[in-house]
Structure 1
Amino acid sequence: MKRVQLLILLVRKGAIGRKIKITLRELAGELGTSPQSVLRLIEEMEEEGLVEREVVGRKTCVEVSPEGLAFLENLCDAISEALYNGVILGEVISGIGEGAYYVKQYSHLIKEYLGFDPYPGTLNVRVLFPKTVFDALCGVRPVILPGFTKEGRTFGDVKAYRVRIDGMEGAIVIPSRTVHPPKIAEIVAPVYLRKELGLKDGSRVRVEVVRE
Structure 2
Amino acid sequence: MKRIEMLILLARRGALGKKIKITLRELANELGISPQSVLRLLEEMEEEGLVDKEVVGRKTYVEISHEGLTFLENLCDAISEALYNGIIIGEVISGIGEGAYYVRQYAHLMREYLGFEPYPGTLNIRVLFPKTVFDAFCGVRPVILPGFVKDGRTFGDVKAYRVQIEDVEGAIVIPSRTVHPPKIAEIVAPVCLRETLGLRDGDRITVRVVKG
Q: Partner letter of residue 159 of structure 1?
A: K
Describe the SS at the equivalent of 2:127: strand
Q: Is the 8 A contact 1:133 1:181 kept in 2?
A: no
The answer on 1:119 being equivalent to 2:85 is: no
Q: CA deviation at 1:182?
A: 1.3
Structure 2: distance between partners of 1:47 and 1:167: 53
C-alpha distance after superposition, 1:146-194 (max 9, x if no partner): 1111111111111111100002100000012349861111000000111
Instruction: Report the TM-score, using the length of structure 1 for normalisation.
Output: 0.96
Relative distance call for 1:85 and 1:181 in structure 2 (3 A) is farther
Corresponding residue of 2:27:
27
Aligned ranges for residues 107-186 of structure 1 at < 5 Å? 107-178=107-178, 182-186=182-186
Distance 1:180-1:14 versus aligned 2 partners, 3 A rule: farther
- Could you report, residue by residue, the CA deviation over 1:50-76 in whole angstroms, capped at 9, with x for unpaired residues? 011111221111111100000000000
Alignment-derived partner of residue 73 in structure 1: 73
Q: RMSD across aligned C-alpha pairs, in angstroms? A: 1.3
Task: Name the aligned partner's letter for residue 46 of structure 2.
Answer: E
Mind listing any 5+ residue stretches in structure 1 that lack a counterpart?
none
For residue 101 of structure 1, give the secondary structure of its aligned residue in structure 2.
helix
The count of aligned residue pairs is 212
SS in 1 for 2:118: coil
Runs in 1 of length 4+ with deviation above 4 angstroms?
A: 178-181
What is the CA deviation profile of residues 93-122 of structure 1, one whole-angstrom value per residue up to 9, with x for unaligned ones?
000100001001111111111111111100
Distance 1:28 1:174 in 2: 47
Q: Could you tell me which runs of 5 or more consecutive residues in structure 2 were left unpaired when the two chains were aligned.
A: none
Normalised TM-score (structure 2): 0.96
